[in-house]
Amino acid sequence: MINKAVFYFCLLLATNVPMALAQEAERPKIGLVLSGGGAKGAAHIGVLETLEKNNIPVDYIAGTSIGAYVAGMYALGYDAQEIKTLMFSTDWALGYSDIIPRKDLSFEDKELRDKYNLPIKAGYKDNKVVTPGGVLIGQTMAMLLKSNTNLVREFDSFDELAIPYRAIAADLETGNAVVLDKGSIVTAMKASASVPGALDPVSLNGKILVDGGVANNMPVDIVKAMGADIIIAVDIGASLAKKEDINGTLAVMGQLSTILTAKTTEYQKTLLTPRDILIRPDVGEMSTTDFEIMPDAYKMGLLAASSAEPRLKQLSVSDTAFTQYQENKKEERKAWLNPLENVVTKIVVNNASKVDDDIILEKFDIATGQVVTWPEIKAGIDRVYSLNVFERVDVEFDDTEDGRVLQLITKAKSWGPNFFHLGLSIEDDFDDSAVLSVDLAYVMTDITDNGGVWKNEVSLGWERSIGTELFLPMDDEQHFFTRSRAAFINDKWRLSTDTGAQQELLKRYVEAGFGFGYKHTDFGIVEIGALGERGYLENQSISSDKPDFTSYGGYFRFAYDTLDNINFPTQGNRITFDVKYLEDSYDPRLTTMPDDTSVQYSINWRGAISVGNSSLVGIMMYDKIENDSDFTVHVKELGGFLNLSGYAKDSLVGPYRFLSALLYQYDLAREVPGSSGLPLYLGGSVEAGNVWPINMRVDIKDLIYSGSLYLGTDTPVGPAALGVGVADDGNVTVFISLGKNW
């Protein structure tokens, strides 16, 4: 009996497989066209699920923008559920920023970013100001795409994929559609979705490519040319806005973009025949940039495809034939997924920059002779990108008989090598202390073979300065360096007299220094050198005299910085330790001991830990001067937000300073659905500190206790805070700050 059952099963299998193959040979070839529409692209997944549910195979596939992404994933052999899982679990909002996390920057770059808080991308080259082609460079977006596709090789033709595939981009020079049919599938996806002005165009094969929506947003003609007999086209384009909604520049620009893409789509619709099927999910009013709407767009795709099911079912094949189709896709998928287990035998650096290959490889830190996973590759790419000199860092593979050859691609910033930096801050305590400051720098890089940097700076506002600094690495690996600096500085303090009157004390001086240093890690330096100051003091409220001073000597500095944010840190530490030995010479009108020797010690620490939405931040500053005189021009300030918050900014001045503070911060933004992605901290602080006159014993009994409550966030233009500070002696300040690092 068992033998008879086996016989009939084998007979059934032998009969069905040829029948399935015959049906496969006879059926019409089906082409799937997926249009562009940003976040609304989740609707495409709903359509794919419906096709799979109804046993409808796809023989050719093409897409534009987000449609190119979904189409590319399907062509690689992923099924609808796998694409849904990947698409919904990816934080696409990260693709809207190419800013390197602060914690990953070198110590020098951290210092530069902290001072110049406006993230402008502008340089000077060939006697003109140069900017990149988009607000975003697209590095992060490319990494998100590659995280989805995994480590797949470049293809001689996209016909090699499980489903023959095409992506549509637009030639920025001619406006014509460009069909991408070979090479890197991630590059094809990225080029097809590079929104003009928002994302930097992709340079490929001598063309400058942008989002294909302006040239062919629903490429019916392309899929017909590939060989499709029947087209299933999915249109998720935006609806034109009503007259009453077109108000403002952004609305007008959005309407123009919609008009361009809609015209290309309408033309493609004229190419559809009665046999073809057009699916239009009801997503026209949804946002293209808010990825929070993806679940709703997905449902609209399911609903629209369900409405088209009566016609779609006419394209269904048998369960056996569809199972065979899916198995074939999985088998072909192995051709590029199985080589992921290949051992990396060689790493080739394709370096379009002046950075030494050895530095790039040291940062990449991937060894040959082992199998490398995408997370390891991604971490290596991020380390190289954190050098902060590249516009693009990427990898491609070539699988050979001997193993996998990894090509590491680096491209220098196109708006360099000379860069502009801009900082802006506004502080106000709603009383008598409002401060506006502007900082501008022109930084020339690669001025030597070892990567020398010449930085020129101007600061305007309450305190002013102009300076220049030459930073010269001494070896190829840039571990040792020299630093030369000269500056004119105008320091200013607003001091209160015993009667409560306000006086301004000015310190104007020229400063110069030269030092040798060593980068003990990527995040810290040790430096020793000589420095000097020459200038005068001025207090016009008391006298027109300008007593002068001179200081010269040596310095030592140790610094280490791993903070993830200088203003609202959640992890890491920053510590600096400075010692200066100075020979001071003062105008006799300033002191009875015009010749003096001083030793200055300064230690600053800030650290943070976090659990969930909560962060604890510690701050400590200690400054001391040892000298024989009863006078010094080397003073420190206290007062302002988180620096004895009950006092106005820099209202306490003295040569000795101590401050200790403990902050608690809670990120409210994580609790708000659909928030902008910026943190919103509700915080409070307890602080203790003071300043002391020269040669006065520092006594804990003199400490001033203060605290604050505040709301703060870290915006694209720097930190912003609004709060109130109270001191134990009754001083109260209300403060607002934007763009200022405290």
Please identify every residue annotated as catalytic: 65, 211
What is residue 540's three-state secondary structure?
coil
How buried is residue 697: exposed, middle or buried, by Cβ count under 10 Å (0-12/13-18/19+)?
exposed
Question: What does DSSP say about strands 418-428 and 681-692: parallel, antiparallel, or unpaired?
Answer: unpaired
- Contacts of residue 316, defined as CB under 8 A and 6 or more positions apart, other chains included, come to 54, 55, 56, 322
Strands (E) located in 562-651: 572-586, 595-611, 614-627, 636-638
Residue 118: which of 436, 423, 419, 438 has the closest Cα? 423
Task: Report the C-alpha gap between 621 and 88 in whole angstroms.
Answer: 46
The C-alpha atoms of residue 42 and residue 670 are separated, in whole angstroms, by 24
Task: Name which of 596, 58, 545, 142 is nearest 378 in CA terms.
Answer: 142
From the list 259, 213, 252, 263, the residue with the least C-alpha distance to 38 is 213
Which residues contact residue 551 at a Cβ distance below 8 angstroms, ignoring those fewer than 6 apart? 532, 533, 534, 582, 583, 584, 585, 633, 634
- The residues, any chain, with a CB within 8 Å of residue 259's CB and separated by 6 or more, are 240
Judge whether 198 and 134 are in contact, CB under 8 Å: yes
Distance in angstroms (rounded) separating the CA atoms of residues 175 and 264: 12
Residue 121, phi then psi, degrees to nearest 5: -120, 95
| Count of CB atoms situated within 10 Å of the CB of 200 | 25
Taking the C-alpha atoms of residue 253 and residue 63, their distance in angstroms, rounded to an integer, is 24
Query: Are residues 362 and 387 in contact, defined by beta-carbon separation less than 8 angstroms?
Result: no
Report d(CA 310, CA 27) in Å as an integer.
18
**Residues contacting residue 349 through CB under 8 Å, at least 6 positions apart:** 357, 360, 361, 408, 410
Please give the structure tokens belonging to residue 405. 């050859």
